[in-house]
Amino acid sequence: MKRLIVFALVLAMAPLLACAQTYPSKPIRLVVPYPSGGPLDITARSIGQKLTETWHQPVVVDNRPGAGGNIGADFVAKSPADGYTLLMGAVATHAINPVLYGKVPYDPIKDFAPVALVAQVPNILVVNPSLPVKSVKELIEFARAKPGALNFGSGSTGSTGHLAGELFKTMAHVEMVHIPYKGAAAAMADLLAGQVQLMFDNLASALPNVKAGKLRALAVTTLRRSPALPDLPTIAEAGLPGFDLSTWFGIMLPAGTAPDIVARLNAEIVRALNAKDMRERLENMGTEPPPENTPEKFSAFIRSEAAKYAKVVKDSGAKVE
């Protein structure tokens, strides 16, 4: 009888052993807080596929769009911290929305354990060719000469395209009118038509039209030049030192997840990002795998971004209720 009890107890403990040692032992859910098809979603699917190949456990992308990304982020924040629910968090969910919306149902710093930054994509300042400016300096002069004459489009209020414009206005002391659209594609259509004169669009989306001559590229918004357009200066170089803005996204886990799971995931994601085909995909987006990609660095990055956007959003006066 005693042997039976011991045997039963050992059997009962076996699953615990399995969990601790062989993560992952069941399918992993990667929550993408945006609708399918965007660059963030596609990159998430690519990474998911790579993880599936290595670990022989399916990594399933779960799209939970809505409220600018807050619904998906909240879902993961409240998920169990067992390493089986990941979030592809972004600048929107973790730096912009908390300030833009006033309050969000999760704490972007306390509720998450950052794992790895996936990509930091620059925005690019493009103008309609009919606008007689060929550089950032000329644009600033033009805008100062005609305050309020220029329109800049963006994909939505509070998007990086919008906030880049607001930061530009603040740092250059110019007045431009922001025209929000439902999605960057609609904004791009009106930019090509000349209804709006400039836009701080996602580099990958704007690049084909720049190459075809339908748009003129003036500068990129990050501090470092983009490998896709090495001859294009940064806004910081071209007239507004210190201007730094990018659309970034990265993998996060709910806070309290075991550190060894975080470390394993980080190692695997970094490996996936540096694989040849992922590098190519990132290059097509105008960026490259982030260097020195550790959970601690990512965590520090998120904090600094949150602080930066707190100021940018407040200065712009943008609000979503």
Which of 212, 230, 276, 292 contacts other proteins by CB under 8 A?
212
Burial 65-77 (b: 16+ CB within 10 A, else e): eebbbbebbbbbb
The reply on whether position 8 binds other proteins by CB under 8 A is: no
The reply on whether position 205 binds other proteins by CB under 8 A is: yes
- How far is the C-alpha of 264 from the C-alpha of 21, rounded, in Å? 11
- How far is the C-alpha of 208 from the C-alpha of 185, rounded, in Å? 13
Residue 177 C-beta: closest distance to other proteins, Å: 7
Residue 100 burial class via C-beta count within 10 angstroms: exposed 0-12, middle 13-18, buried 19 and up: buried
Instruction: Write the secondary structure of 25-52 as one string of H (helix), E (strand) and C (coil).
Output: CCCEEEEECCCCCCHHHHHHHHHHHHHH
Residue 224 C-beta: closest distance to other proteins, Å: 22
The reply on whether position 158 binds other proteins by CB under 8 A is: yes
Residue 110 C-beta: closest distance to other proteins, Å: 20
> Positive or negative, the Cα torsion across 99, 92, 94, 217?
negative
The reply on whether position 185 binds other proteins by CB under 8 A is: yes
> Positive or negative, the Cα torsion across 17, 21, 25, 27?
positive
Number of chain positions touching other proteins (CB under 8 A): 58
Residue closer to other proteins by CB (options 148, 241) is 148
Binding site residues, other proteins, CB under 8 A: 35-39, 41-42, 45-46, 48-49, 62-67, 70-71, 74, 100, 105, 148, 151, 156-158, 177, 179-183, 185-186, 188-190, 192-193, 195-196, 204-205, 207-209, 211-212, 214, 280-281, 284-285, 318-321
